[in-house]
Amino acid sequence: MPRNFGETAVLLLDCPDQPGLVARVSGLLFDLGATILHADQHQDHELGLFFMRVEWTSARATSTDSASDLDAFDSLFEAFRTAFTPLAEVLSMRWQLRRTGHRPRVALYCSQYLHCAADLLDRVRSAELSCHVALIISNHRAVEPLAAFHGIPFHCIPVTAATRAQAESAQLALLADHRIELIVLARYMQILSPEFVERYPSAIINVHHSFLPAFIGARPYHAAHQRGVKLIGATSHYVTSALDDGPIIEQDVARISHRDQVENLVARGRDLERIVLARAVRWHLEHRILCFGNKTVVFD
């Protein structure tokens, strides 16, 4: 029977590359009584940077997942945080430590196209995505029946150029009330202000219906058809203040031909959009992504 390790922790870090980094991290975990379950690292030789993801648990974990095991993990988690902080400072590390048992609270944004929102909600319902969708916000009412079916609070907040500031203020109040940790734009066809984006750094994931950086904006399938491209794609990325220019998390493509019309591109593109957005959200929830500059490292 496979061993159940109970709750685990994930350490994500990046720092200037130098010899012995893996040994320093793994050695500290060993000294504190941790068991490493998965480890992955990457070196960017051009920038001289080192990236690492380590998932670990208490060596005392058993298949019973008893209260004493949880207490041991809690103690180890805090002991590691305390011991690692000065080491990270000496090595100029940016780092984050997360517990995998925590289910982040997510806000789902969409407009009139519901294929991505419906797909994500189904994946959450089937426990494929480990999160709690606490809120759905839209500038249209098309998603309201879907929200009601899943029992999720829904708020329709219309947005115009003249009312954008007031609409975002109302949204931010809702996000705070629901203690939202991640925002997913599931074909939300509105541009967020830089002030809004700054409130959730690396915590807003968007899906764009194009293989970025090609065909940014609202009608990429039409632009792709006019250009006569032979591949269409979809891109999931973190949102920044620059339109459709945030760090890319995942992309996928489909081959098309001169026989395909715009409606064919839209239909095939929707399948790609579902896939790349679900992958990006899952990798974020599993703490597999590190951002640096305008790029990402996505660990296996």
Active site (catalytic) residues: 244
Closest CA to 147 of 181, 112, 108: 108
Closest CA to 121 of 97, 102, 145: 145
Closest CA to 187 of 150, 138, 231: 138
Q: How many whole angstroms from its chain centre is CA 187? A: 15
Distance CA 159, CA 126 (A): 32
